[in-house]
Structure 1
């Protein structure tokens, strides 16, 4: 397969982090076909430049597939990449920018190049990873407090990669593993020095080529592990991130809306709920959705469920924002969330009573791949009842298309039994996709989900202030997170 594709020049920008660089070079020696591809190691004169140079020479020696270069002075990440790609590489190859703190998995490059070759409109391809923001796998977790080990990502990726589409279109690709079609470089150059020494340059590149009709995609079957070491010490890193985000939003006011739209609509449903396809513990995680009106009867039902749940069934009570205080008083010591947690998914979502708003349905859709409906809308044929409850009835009809089970309330122990039975069933990817897209489409068409094409002056001002005082901003966010 390798010999039938276009060759690639892999550019590895080198600065510091010698242990990470050693792992990266060792992985490249094992995974790259050097009869087709080549590697350029571009040393950007970091604090241990001589030691790193010595070790690189020890590792690659006179290997024909590697080229080593050392800058006369430190150019920063943007300058280093631009020099390596625009000045040193004269092959005409497609280019893969690969961070030195990555560990590519076998077959990654063949898969990425196959995706790039599949459509002339694809300009950039990014691999999946354990640490790469929107390219992370999994993105949402069943247990956000647990550390995501590389082993977990490898296992989960192996379980689900062939359930996913081969690639997913995204607004931007992540710079840790960034395969660029050579035509893009010839037409549009590479990174803008406005983002020097680093942060945001790859996003700007993706959005720049997109204005000319070219897309960036995630190669869902290619995996590259990424440590994500800190490139800038002290306040410099946060300051650069905030300042460069401001530049991005000034140039592309729709950028924030594009990321939100991608997360809400363009990801495949298997990707959204990947962490539930192969649970990494024996715990059943449940999102228990309660109606907006917490009546005494509903409080009793929730308490019955919480009391019946053993230690291996962890229940989070999902309530409207207006009911948080009431819920905390009614269910002391229990996990309470408002409309679900955006970075958490559950094994099962339970609607405890009829859903009466589309916002509730949308939250249920985002929470879990399996649904249980308890006491859904009564199908009373009297016209007075039908008129009074027509909206809830319409939502109920949507729910019933995608439910795993509907039931009447008996007690908490019976509900826990149904939850265990639901978790024992395999997730159907096709049915999950149908549900995800149907609810997402309705949410966008009705205006429940709005992705703005502009950025507010307030946001830009906040980013400017944050770039000047990153520690103060971090302190304020910490205080806000504690509710003080």
Structure 2
């Protein structure tokens, strides 16, 4: 049976990481491996991963999301690769439904879930006050239903599933976007340029806190990162991603 390699970059976010890993372990009944890539944390992340026997890559300082993901991708052994933010909590049926979508068509390149805290089309309105309510809601939301799948132009990198074939075809994340923002848009653009389709799984609801690590490291400069990397995308492709990736011209609030 195929294995999904789940890569979780993290930086001084141990409580979030613990919640993320616990949700994977509780709600995932298909083969997987977890690879945590730590960007120089000083909060006990290393000790936690050792105690939990999690595959662990330790960096001396915070290199950001793209570099951490690429290191994790290089260490994977799975048939599928999933980039997962440490501030995401998954629920019942999440991976099974996403894999069903990924393998529904040979040309599906990337799939992603819906959540209430994200920019763009993956954002959904849903009401819950705590994780108990979230899991109760997700238990109903995540009933398999391919009629809720939708081909889109963009999948946000908070929960980003693709086959190894895609990585072999288009490569890894572009590290010019370090420490992060628009590297996922760039990957989507490259996938689509190579004939792959992107699929939003409306039958997979996850919880996402939203930009926790970035806002912690760049409390005053987070907006500047978005502006800078937006321009990097334009310089690279000679197109404005807001014209087709964000129909409402929202800023990238992942």
User: RCO (CA 8 Å, sep 6+): is it higher in 1 or 2?
Assistant: 2
Cα distance, 1:148–1:203 mapped onto 2, change above 3 Å: farther
Q: CA deviation at 1:254?
A: 5.4
Task: Give the Cα–Cα distance (whole angstroms) in 1 for the partners of residues 246 and 28 of structure 2.
Answer: 35
Alignment of 1:338-377 (within 5 A): none
Given candidates 33, 39, 56, the residue that maps to 1:68 is 56
Aligned to 1:43: 38
Aligned to 2:150: 168
Q: CA deviation at 1:162?
A: 6.6
- Any idea what SS the aligned residue of 1:165 has? helix
Q: CA deviation at 1:149?
A: 4.1
Alignment of 1:42-441 (within 5 A): 42-46=37-41, 48-49=42-43, 51-58=44-51, 60=52, 62=53, 66-86=54-74, 88-89=75-76, 91-134=77-120, 135-138=122-125, 149=129, 151=133, 155=137, 158=140, 165-228=147-210, 229-231=212-214, 232-250=217-235, 251=237, 253=239, 255-259=241-245
Q: CA deviation at 1:71?
A: 2.2
Aligned to 1:20: 16
What TM-score do you get using the length of structure 1 for normalisation? 0.46
Cα distance, 1:194–1:154 mapped onto 2, change above 3 Å: farther
CA contact (8 A) 1:161 1:221 kept: yes
Task: Give the Cα–Cα distance (whole angstroms) in 2 for the partners of residues 160 and 68 of structure 1.
Answer: 30
CA contact (8 A) 2:148 2:203 kept: yes
Q: CA deviation at 1:78?
A: 1.0
Task: Give the Cα–Cα distance (whole angstroms) in 2 for the partners of residues 137 and 215 of structure 1.
Answer: 21
- Any idea what SS the aligned residue of 2:70 has? helix
Task: Give the Cα–Cα distance (whole angstroms) in 2 for the partners of residues 155 and 28 of structure 1.
Answer: 17
Task: Give the Cα–Cα distance (whole angstroms) in 2 for the partners of residues 182 and 30 of structure 1.
Answer: 25
- Paired residues, number: 244
Q: CA deviation at 1:195?
A: 0.2
CA contact (8 A) 2:188 2:198 kept: yes
- Any idea what SS the aligned residue of 2:147 has? coil
Q: CA deviation at 1:158?
A: 3.0
CA contact (8 A) 1:41 1:67 kept: yes
Task: Give the Cα–Cα distance (whole angstroms) in 1 for the partners of residues 94 and 26 of structure 2.
Answer: 11
Given candidates 26, 31, 43, the residue that maps to 1:30 is 26
- Any idea what SS the aligned residue of 2:244 has? helix
The structure number with the bigger radius of gyration is 1
Q: Deviations over 1:276-325 (max 9, x none)?
A: xxxxxxxxxxxxxxxxxxxxxxxxxxxxxxxxxxxxxxxxxxxxxxxxxx
CA contact (8 A) 1:43 1:69 kept: yes
Q: Deviations over 1:349-394 (max 9, x none)?
A: xxxxxxxxxxxxxxxxxxxxxxxxxxxxxxxxxxxxxxxxxxxxxx
Task: Give the Cα–Cα distance (whole angstroms) in 2 for the partners of residues 203 and 160 of structure 1.
Answer: 25
Cα distance, 1:131–1:198 mapped onto 2, change above 3 Å: same
- Any idea what SS the aligned residue of 1:220 has? strand
Moved more, 233-242 or 244-253: 244-253
Q: CA deviation at 1:233?
A: 2.2
- Stretches of structure 1 that go unaligned for 5 or more consecutive residues are 140-146, 264-341, 344-462, 464-484
- Any idea what SS the aligned residue of 1:137 has? coil
Task: Give the Cα–Cα distance (whole angstroms) in 2 for the partners of residues 185 and 191 of structure 1.
Answer: 9
Task: Give the Cα–Cα distance (whole angstroms) in 1 for the partners of residues 113 and 48 of structure 2.
Answer: 27
Task: Give the Cα–Cα distance (whole angstroms) in 2 for the partners of residues 204 and 16 of structure 1.
Answer: 26
CA contact (8 A) 1:138 1:153 kept: no
- Greater percentage in strand: 2
Q: CA deviation at 1:11?
A: 0.7
CA contact (8 A) 1:161 1:220 kept: no
Q: Deviations over 1:51-96 (max 9, x none)?
A: 22123333x1x4xxx312212443221111111102x22x252100
**Alignment RMSD (CA, Å):** 2.9
